[in-house]
Amino acid sequence: MEFKHIIYEKAEGIATITLNRPEALNAFNKELITEVLQAIEDIKTDEAIRVVVLTGAGEKAFSAGADIKAMKGMTALKARELSLMGEKLCLAFENLEKPVIAAINGYALGGGLEAAMSCDLRIASENARMGQTEINIGLIPGWGGTQRLTRLIGATKAKELIYTGKLIDAKTAEQLGIVNMAVPADKFKETVRQLALDLAQKAPVAIKVAKALINKGSEISLDAALALEREGFGVVASTEDLQEGVSAFTEKRKPTFKGK
């Protein structure tokens, strides 16, 4: 596959999508979003891929958000279109039946943070800076930030971040629960790689069902969610991978999961 705005690599069961507009701090334009969606389509059908890493090119940014320059003279209809595109991008990560790690290597602002929040896990380099900065240009988050940030950290802190548009460092993001881990810059790439390799070894169906249950369960009653979990537990229990896991445990060896 030929891409201009992303670098798309596959190795060792891991697909890495690198947002590649470093001259614009990897800000998302239409073409960049389209290419990420194309890569996700490929990931969906490639059984060898067990885990996805999303990151940014260059030393400075994961992504500085939606392309502000393209907003000059933007009509309400165009803004709605931009919001829909971003929503589609974020839902593509959220609904992908494989785990997605956002490797936040620098600024993750506005739509950049929104894209990261739609991933399953977030590892931030200690030099990363995050924020819902839209308010500073007279805007609000339009790719799910008012909702996903609030679900992640609660309304009190979400309002503080969205109303002030301030940047927070990786340690603060870790304390707030926006990222799983803030890692020293010199350990960042290796930490992301080890986590991705670890997830690539896990049972794919178990991860896929757990992801769906966690994502959907928070939107429905506990009773309904527990019923879904029960059904999911039954489905996962019917896989060859469970039998492999049980055999490996009794034989004191490492399991090899096939996603079957």
Q: Residue from 35, 120, 134, 241 that binds ligand CAA (CB under 6 A)?
A: 134
- In 3D space, the residue among 94, 87, 127 whose CA is nearest the CA of residue 111 turns out to be 87
Of 90-98, 106-114, 156-164, 168-176: span binding ligand CAA (CB under 6 A): 106-114
Binding status of residue 56 toward ligand CAA by CB under 6 A? no
β-pair partners for 10: 15
- Could you tell me the smallest distance in angstroms from the CB atom of residue 54 to ligand CAA? 16
Q: Which residues contact 122 (CB under 8 A, 6 or more apart)?
A: 101, 102, 104, 116, 178, 179, 180
- Helices 204-217 and 222-237 pack at an angle, to 10 degrees, of 170
Count of beta carbons in the 10 Å neighbourhood of residue 242:
16
HSE, side-chain direction, 13 A CA sphere, residue 72: 2
Give the total of residues touching ligand CAA (CB under 6 A).
24
Count of beta carbons in the 10 Å neighbourhood of residue 152:
15
Binding status of residue 158 toward ligand CAA by CB under 6 A? no
Write the binding mask 82 to 101 for ligand CAA: x where contact by CB under 6 A, - elsewhere: ----x---------------
Q: Which helix (H) or strand (E) holds 121?
A: strand 121-125
- Could you tell me the smallest distance in angstroms from the CB atom of residue 168 to ligand CAA? 13
Q: Residue from 56, 99, 141, 255 that binds ligand CAA (CB under 6 A)?
A: 141
Binding status of residue 26 toward ligand CAA by CB under 6 A? no
| Annotation says 114 is catalytic | yes
Q: Residue from 13, 142, 232, 255 that binds ligand CAA (CB under 6 A)?
A: 142
* Set 114, 126, 174, 244: catalytic member: 114
66 three-class SS: strand
Q: Residue from 69, 72, 230, 252 that binds ligand CAA (CB under 6 A)?
A: 69
Binding status of residue 67 toward ligand CAA by CB under 6 A? yes
Q: Residue from 6, 109, 170, 183 that binds ligand CAA (CB under 6 A)?
A: 109
Residue pair 68/90 in contact by the 8 Å Cβ criterion: no
- In 3D space, the residue among 170, 248, 244, 239 whose CA is nearest the CA of residue 208 turns out to be 239
Binding site for ligand CAA (CB under 6 A): 24-25, 27, 64-69, 86, 107, 109-111, 114, 133-134, 136-137, 139, 141-143, 145
Residues classed as catalytic: 114, 134
